[in-house]
Amino acid sequence: MARRRRGRDIHGWIVLDKPLGMSSTQALGKVRRLLDAAKAGHGGTLDPLASGVLPIALGEATKCVSYAFDGRKRYEFTLRWGQETATDDAEGEIVAESPHRPDRGEILAVLARFTGIIEQRPPAYSAIRIGGRRAYDLARAGQAPEMAARKVHIHDLSLVACPDGDHARFSVDCGKGTYIRSLGRDIARALGTCGHLRALRRVRVGPFSLDDAISLEKLETLCHMSAADECILPLQTALADIPALAVNEAEAGRLRHGQPVGTHYRTNETVCVLQGERPVAIARVEAGSIRPVRVFNI
């Protein structure tokens, strides 16, 4: 006898305002249980010490995760001057200290160094794989690896406030792969002091922002009222940055079976194929053909 499939077939996105103290995996599990979803996933992990936008893909939306998280992200973060930690955030032990506390003018003077394409060394306590092992596992075992520098794109970096001599708040708009902990550490070093991340909040990921987000408490309340599905955004929300291409029913059927269909478009690009309002596939338009890349079974 075939095993009964667990959960409901739900397709779309819940944009969670992840609370502090909860891992992204724990948040995903909570949302999946509340909605009784058969399938769910997330990308763009937030550490337990970070809060904010965590888009959770439901059902066939899991096929869009890489597209959703390839876009720009915006964070608000607070640096604590005078102390550098092993993890570059408030969780690690202090490894260096400095008496220097930069003033507003000094901070503003260095920000231009951290905009555009810059080189950045990821934290030793990160999920990057080194020789098949996670960097944070090596670091916890006392074998902190030498992290190779990588290029990242900082689109915008601004000083928001200096609430006291020990802290400064910033806003940053950045590309994929940027570590805000590393950015904070490097800003402090450029100012001739030490520093670590004291607070981090993600306010946007690609097309998803805090305006779309819902707290776990509110989601739980709506589930009790059988109204939670009203908060689910359409699957194609994650594909807002790529062109949409309409097809008819016969063409949609061929694409769903992995077969290309002809088109008068001649530009080579990735598109979101729709039949009316129904998503059909992520596809490539090449040489007058629409070729499916990821097909949605909806």
Q: What is the tens place of the pLDDT at every residue in 58-67?
A: 999 999 988 8
Q: What is the tens place of the pLDDT at every residue in 166-210?
A: 999 999 999 988 999 999 999 999 999 999 999 999 999 989 999
- The token pair that represents 158 in the structure block: 């601004």
* Mean local confidence (pLDDT), 97-105: 98
The answer to whether the beta carbons of residues 206 and 65 sit under 8 Å apart is no
Q: Which of 17, 47, 89, 173 is catalytic?
A: 47
Which amino acid belongs to residue 245? Answer: L
Q: What is the tens place of the pLDDT at every residue in 142-170?
A: 656 666 788 999 999 999 999 999 999 99
For strand 244-246 and strand 269-275, is the pairing parallel, antiparallel, or unpaired? parallel
* Mean local confidence (pLDDT), 120-147: 64
Q: How far apart are CA 174 and CA 157, in angstroms?
A: 8
Task: Work out the mean pLDDT of the chain and round it to a whole number.
Answer: 90
Q: Domains of the chain, with CATH numbers?
A: 12-70+207-237 (3.30.2350.10), 73-194 (3.30.2350.10), 242-295 (2.30.130.10)
Interhelix angle 24-35/216-224, rounded to 10 degrees, is: 10
pLDDT value for 1 = 42
Number of H helices, E strands in the chain: 7, 18
Whether residue 47 lies in the annotated active site: yes
User: Ranked by mean pLDDT, which of 49-53, 143-147, 266-270 comes out on top?
Assistant: 49-53
